[in-house]
Chains A and B, each alone.
Chain A
């Protein structure tokens, strides 16, 4: 049956309500099992030896002493993970990142691993492994890495995307360009031009749960992997490929996940745990320490961005240009490309040009972090937009409204927009009471907009109706923040039954077809589409069974509010059959009733948000305090509004941390100096005010209920909104994120001293 994903417009019964989530009780009683909460009989403890050098050739690894230590059951190096990637460059990078092959490319890069009977023995074994390094010059700063004399991280990299093929290798892996019109001409029409350079430091997703897995490989080549991940099907594919297994022989079960935000979309420890288990012949549990999470998982890019925007006196932007340099870690990526696409996406521009450079540095391999690459670009652009408004003498909200993209606008990344929500979020922000709240001394207000694409993707869902009429829903998209509640609401809505009768679970990779991972704000968007489709397939069967029970044609049976209803004059006396009644009879009418769906959810619909915040700055110390914060964002349709609010608030809080205090600090030796929550300072409860939210609902035309993804966009505006507020409070333009107190105080002093 062909599924029609178009928005139909309907009145909702379940969708839009706020019931308690199905996994809630387990999570408040300590019963829910996360990555490290699972154990297998006879399991060993795995631990990883990591490079203390930012850049070094590995001459030799001697594991003999470690192997002889009593209690050590396996020691592995890159030799135990042979290259089976068959020319797939991206997979080779993943393999090399899991276990360094010829060079250690960053402080924390895995070089060997052990499995032993207990943690103490494993720790001792690591100390007995002798690695002979030849230390090489390193580079950790994105701008330094682009200089021609910079240490070369990979001499096989020649910059892609240049007019002429380069003859010398470079740390710049790719140049990309977007835009339209003629910026040179556009700047010619401008009365005011703002030109500035910005920098943002590297940040980490900062999920509270470290990476953890338990791997068990049997001698017959089958394996089980229990792991915290945003995508167990993707992990299965990657692990199977790297270990030379058939995917179907590796069953991956996703644990409850203690936060991901993009950071649990890559494999790091999992192939290592499987390789250890394969060698030891026993299950291996591998849990990263917090130090390892910071040093050796996947933070976001550090960036350096130049912006130039010109406008006429009347407030019309005539041209906009950006050059964006994003660090990728030591492996090729496309992070600047995304920044270049999103930078000016909020605006209607006749002349726009963005250029991105992907830059290799001796830092961990960059991974996605909530709307990856967009917050940094938005920080630079929205700061410059604010400054331009000021120069023209226009209110910053009015200036943005005047230049906001709308339906029919050619986006800065290429295509023409359909119906979009940037205008409405700006209008809502303009009339929000926050805008009129009084400001005290040393307080400033700032606002900014943000854009994110949102994804859909491959999705597979099973809906089974029990004999008692209750419904089990098995989905393959990992629930990172309440999607089992929203999907249960959707199933209840479509079937016309109560939410309480639906129980949603995340199924393992052997129980369901492939699902993309929970990224790109796709969890609820795509799985709700698949759930609707599965429910409709089940309804078709329910109607057939009702038709059998009544002995009439299925064409005369319709589904209304959880009941089969007979239509037509002849059947006027048949009344209704409830889902429960049909389910009870199912054994005699053809067996179990189920609905299945496999689809590609596409047309996720782009997402916009506008944030407003008030910041107080202590002019004597540069300390900041967030006084008020408001998020306005389009959700298409909020399936479970409380969890939508939660996404808005959580993204804002992460953005606040990024804007004010979070950063990777590298020493001159290329080693990370703050790999812990003490000095990598994520916001604590007393740092934040209540975060006000306003959900707009502009239906997505490509989803039956109008749903859009909501998870990521909320982290895009905060960096800029806070920078604008600090600028208004302290009278200085901040161009370096995070705006830590020393940076703010230095800027204030520079302004005072001239």
Chain B
């Protein structure tokens, strides 16, 4: 089976790769490009651990074919920080201990980034529903919601 040649922009960098037609974007990111920040928790779009932003849309990368990324922009958790400066969401997740095991964290950060880009001043309810596609089994979500609220405040002020 011949591979499909794909050119995409990932975290601002032009990237070219070959992938099989049944290979997901998540497989490509993790196994071909070494970007293991996005996690596979279910492979069926039910947990959000593989969340990435594809042309300004939040998606589960397990539900996107690698071939579909042709000519598109992909943002992953690896692209959130600028140099050694963390994104406010990353900083607030640390300060609020919004992670325990941390496996869901990359997905939450990406989903929260997308949420705040579209709604810079969300209510608690909007945050909760906005992040409902991301499962966390450790925290009970309390500290995650607080971290997003705090990050929103900081980002508004910036």
Contact = CB atoms under 8 A, between A and B. Distances in A.
Interface string B122-139: 001101110111111111
Interface string A257-268: 111110000000
Contacts of A260: 101
A31 B37 contact: yes
B55 interface: no
A209 B140 contact: no
**B contacts with A: majority SS:** loop
Interface residues of A, number: 55
A28 B101 contact: no
A27 to B, nearest CB: 4
A210 B41 contact: yes
Given A257-B101, A646-B138, A25 B20 contact: no
B36 to A, nearest CB: 4
A209 B49 CA distance: 9
Contact of B41 (A31, A33, A290): A290
Contact of B43 (A256, A290, A645, A685): A290
Contact of B44 (A206, A649, A677): A677
Contacts of A678: 44, 46
B61 interface: no
Contact of B78 (A29, A290, A481, A649): A29
Interface stretch (B2-10, B64-72, B90-98): B90-98
Contacts, number: 176
A653 B129 CA distance: 17
A481 to B, nearest CB: 4
Contacts of A683: 140-141
Contacts of B97: 18, 21, 482, 642-643, 646
Contacts of A20: 94-95
Nearest to A33: B36
B35 A30 contact: yes
Nearest to A118: B20
Contacts of A37: 30, 36
Interface stretch (A231-239, A353-361, A686-694, A724-732): A686-694
A289 interface: yes
Contacts of A676: 42, 44, 46
B137 A654 contact: yes
A30 B78 contact: yes
Among B22, B97, B104, the most chain A Cβ lie within 10 Å of the Cβ of: B97
A1 interface: no
Contacts of B37: 29-31
Contacts of A642: 96-97, 143
A688 B138 CA distance: 13
A436 B95 CA distance: 32
Contacts of B30: 36-37
B95 A480 contact: no
Interface in A179-206: 205-206
Contacts of B94: 20-21, 24-25, 28
Among A29, A34, A37, A678, the most chain B Cβ lie within 10 Å of the Cβ of: A29
Contacts of B96: 642
A100 interface: no
Contacts of B144: 685
Nearest to A688: B141
A682 interface: yes
B137 A207 contact: yes
A29 to B, nearest CB: 6
A28 B40 contact: no
A745 B95 CA distance: 43
A677 to B, nearest CB: 4
Interface string A115-127: 0000010000000
Contacts of B106: 28, 30
A33 B90 CA distance: 17
Interface in A144-161: none
A682 B100 contact: no
A690 B142 contact: yes
B109 to A, nearest CB: 6
B93 to A, nearest CB: 5
B99 interface: yes
Contacts of A691: 140, 142
Contact of B77 (A30, A33, A257): A30
Given A677-B46, A686-B132, A690-B145, A29 B137 contact: no
Contact of B38 (A27, A30, A649): A30
B31 to A, nearest CB: 8
Contacts of A416: none
Contact of B81 (A29, A207, A290): A29
Contacts of B135: 208, 677, 682, 684
A27 B93 CA distance: 10
Contact of A686 (B40, B76, B100, B128): B128
B65 to A, nearest CB: 14
Contact of B76 (A30, A36, A120): A30
B103 interface: yes
A654 B137 CA distance: 7
A259 B140 contact: no
A259 B49 CA distance: 13
A537 B118 CA distance: 55
B139 A646 contact: yes
Nearest to A656: B140
Contacts of B86: 25, 28-29
A652 interface: yes
A30 B36 contact: yes
Contacts of A209: 39, 41, 101, 103
Nearest to A652: B140
Nearest to B97: A642
A747 B22 CA distance: 47
B139 A649 contact: yes
Interface string A13-27: 000001011011101
A197 to B, nearest CB: 30
B104 A27 contact: no
A289 B78 contact: no
A5 interface: no
Interface string B77-92: 1101100001000100
A258 B140 contact: no
A746 interface: no
B141 A685 contact: yes
Contacts of A480: 100-101
A747 to B, nearest CB: 27
A130 interface: no
A25 B47 CA distance: 22
B99 A120 contact: no
A650 interface: yes
B114 to A, nearest CB: 14
Given A29-B81, A120-B20, A649 B137 contact: no
A32 interface: yes
B38 to A, nearest CB: 7
Contact of B137 (A18, A259, A289): A259
Interface string A645-664: 11001101110000000000
17 contacts: A18-B97, A29-B77, A29-B78, A30-B37, A31-B78, A33-B36, A205-B137, A207-B103, A207-B137, A208-B103, A259-B137, A481-B138, A642-B96, A646-B100, A677-B46, A683-B141, A685-B134
Interface of A: 18, 20-21, 23-25, 27-34, 36-37, 120, 205-210, 256-261, 287, 289-290, 480-482, 642-643, 645-646, 649-650, 652-654, 676-678, 682-686, 688, 690-691
Given A28-B102, A30-B78, A257-B101, 11 more contacts: A25-B86, A25-B90, A30-B76, A210-B40, A259-B137, A642-B96, A646-B100, A682-B135, A684-B132, A686-B132, A688-B142
